[in-house]
Structure 1
């Protein structure tokens, strides 16, 4: 079994350097490699320049055991990955008949004339292992150069992921041997920051060995990734579960789910179980909260609708917020938020209403500073609550933080 394998991901494409697209391929590939205990030591991004691509490849060959290259395998003149690798390896390129047949069939089926440059996509290195592309035209390749393993993949994320799952992962499993299984469990939290979570678990994190404990901040809260190694699924499951119990004993009040679960899914599930319906009146969030809820399958059972009441006249004439509150307290106030939650609940015949009002910016409103937000809740039994916040950041980040805080408030209400 090979140990301490060093991996590197090289992304080829000027559009990545210009920031026109994000390098999500490297992020995803690193996550996959980590599951098999393979450490990624370098992410390299290089533009469509033959000399610089060649230089990046030479560096990767010197320092890494596994090099995964994404991009630069297309039909155009700026697709230079093959040529750059040929320059450092001296390997001959040939046309793969199977890949070429697939490309020709694609154009025939779409009744489009194939331009000659599309033949470039079928070129592979002689002696390489051709990796079948079940999601597109250009095949991938596996090449060994001076005991270093190279994988070449298309830059299109859908195609890259498909080839990795179908072809590369089975190879990695053989490469690392079957003596060790590695699994991860992601625990998700809301209402606690990354630094606070880390502080609460400081001694556990410092003493970590197996599983490892890694707190990470994400857009929809904070996660802890537990990664365990073992010789059987059963032993790994026990390791992960024991550590999960220890963590939840300390910060369980903020825990809402794990792995791919998102907070809105948990909220919809709780609403269904409790046979309750939820409606939202949104000013600064502009429908963002309702969109999150209705993105979940089956949300129609628990969310009859909502109202975007950005303008004061809509708050007054459509939602029914009283003129007295608007004049005396203002639209950015505790009183207005409470009335918004109550009115929307009654308007849609729901059990729970939630109201969002505040100042997203760029300027003050009614003397209130940018970032001041009120979020309120009203239920059919007369329960009312309003929270006041002062968020910082850009206009849209304030709106997103308000939306997330609203999800947190509803989750805690349903949980209690």
Structure 2
């Protein structure tokens, strides 16, 4: 089954509101074997909404609309769907009675305007709303098409979907088994990763392979639908084994957990600790590590040495190193790491110094240049220079943290 989702509301076309309903619905529908082929956001305009409904029904067997079911003049979903599907819309006294009782339970008298919420599409089944006053509707159309109206507020939409919509949908879907596999990968770019594994997954119609990328972090997701669980598991395992062999130690997680969790697990297994020293990232690295439950077993703390004076007083960086090599250099990164290791009495220490922009940088080390230093047991010393695309200060900082964590992970393994 192919589905389309229309999020209704002019506020969703501004920068202040985000459509999270479609994300929730897509996840649940995918788990049921329903593929979402289209998403639309439409403002509170009857003509535009009517056109959107007609357009969506050209390619989808299931159409879900969220929002526009309130009592005010700009709540137009019911009327627009009625026009788009050539259905009449009528006042339902039973729904109105329910609404009045609902308001009474709040200790309020229902306003006349709320009677607009008692209008039901011809042939539709009313979906009760246990959290608000906007009933949903399930409308079956010819050619096995279905239109579902759900309220816009997530606090109302999710319970209604879980209690009323998904159970009805499950009854009409064929039996389906689902198997998935997830690899989280670091240390390789998205295009390079796809060039490496595309020849492996392209011959497979099942599983479906999806690659999602953000700053320094890539997720490869395999998803198989089959008539039996044995078949779904077998198809997924076959392709997963081939991809895992190709990616090797670039894979840091099989369960969706983040890179910092993998690093902390490795340290805990070795009975070792880590500290951090941060300049351009200003605490982001420490925050990532401390955000994992149980991190205190191995993460002892860190130092934010944003200016040169703090690098010297907090970490003992020699002034000559800054004067000779600048604060963004391999030498300073190493001294920061050693200083953090010694002062925190940790087995390992990571340091980050660089130019996040938009200003700064030199001809040799322009904006986007980051040095990561590692100090470890037995006098282990290592520094690595990274170069990231400019134009987004926060993205450079995210890349830097991810690269530092991955560098330590590879060192530990």
TM over 0.5: yes
Structure 1 residue 410: Cα displacement:
2.1
Aligned pair count? 405
Residue 183 (structure 2) pairs with residue 187 (structure 1): yes
What SS is found at the alignment partner of 1:332?
Answer: coil
Structure 1 residue 34: Cα displacement:
3.0
Residue 38 (structure 2) pairs with residue 35 (structure 1): no
What SS is found at the alignment partner of 2:218?
Answer: strand
Structure 1 pair 184–378 and aligned structure 2 pair: CA distance change class (3 A): same
Which of 152, 155, 160 lines up with 2:152 in the alignment? 155
Partner of 1:168 in structure 2? 165
Partner of 1:246 in structure 2? 242
Structure 1 residue 364: Cα displacement:
1.8
Partner of 1:413 in structure 2? 411
Q: What is the distance in 2 between the residues matched to 1:136 and 1:308?
A: 48
Which of 276, 287, 293 lines up with 1:291 in the alignment? 287
TM-score (norm 1): 0.88
Counterpart mapping for 1:304-319 below 5 A: 304-319=300-315
Answer yes or no: is the 8 Å Cα contact 2:136–2:149 preserved in 1: yes
What SS is found at the alignment partner of 2:89?
Answer: coil
Residue 204 (structure 2) pairs with residue 223 (structure 1): no
Q: What is the distance in 2 between the residues matched to 1:297 and 1:10?
A: 38
Answer yes or no: is the 8 Å Cα contact 1:35–1:184 preserved in 2: no
What SS is found at the alignment partner of 1:381?
Answer: helix
Structure 1 pair 225–124 and aligned structure 2 pair: CA distance change class (3 A): farther
What SS is found at the alignment partner of 2:378?
Answer: coil
Structure 1 residue 234: Cα displacement:
3.3
Residue 329 (structure 2) pairs with residue 330 (structure 1): no
Deviations 1:370-398 (A, max 9, x none): 11110111113211111101111311111
Answer yes or no: is the 8 Å Cα contact 2:215–2:395 preserved in 1: no
Residue 184 (structure 2) pairs with residue 201 (structure 1): no
Structure 1 residue 57: Cα displacement:
2.0
Give unpaired runs (5+ residues) of structure 1. none
Structure 1 pair 289–23 and aligned structure 2 pair: CA distance change class (3 A): same
Answer yes or no: is the 8 Å Cα contact 1:86–1:92 preserved in 2: no
Partner of 2:368 in structure 1? 371
Structure 1 pair 177–121 and aligned structure 2 pair: CA distance change class (3 A): farther
What SS is found at the alignment partner of 1:249?
Answer: helix
Q: What is the distance in 1 between the residues matched to 2:126 and 2:409?
A: 49
Structure 1 residue 327: Cα displacement:
2.0
Answer yes or no: is the 8 Å Cα contact 1:264–1:296 preserved in 2: yes
Residue 235 (structure 2) pairs with residue 235 (structure 1): no
Structure 1 residue 261: Cα displacement:
1.7
Deviations 1:142-182 (A, max 9, x none): 2223442112223334543443333333333322222x323
Answer yes or no: is the 8 Å Cα contact 2:184–2:256 preserved in 1: no
Deviations 1:262-313 (A, max 9, x none): 2122222222222222211111111111111111111122222112211222
Q: What is the distance in 2 between the residues matched to 1:218 and 1:81?
A: 36
Partner of 1:389 in structure 2? 386
Structure 1 residue 103: Cα displacement:
5.4
Q: What is the distance in 2 between the residues matched to 1:224 and 1:121?
A: 47
Residue 363 (structure 2) pairs with residue 354 (structure 1): no
Structure 1 pair 263–165 and aligned structure 2 pair: CA distance change class (3 A): farther
Per mean C-alpha deviation after superposition, the further-off stretch among 241-250 and 144-153 is 144-153
Q: What is the distance in 2 between the residues matched to 1:339 and 1:333?
A: 10
Partner of 1:51 in structure 2? 47
Partner of 2:400 in structure 1? 402
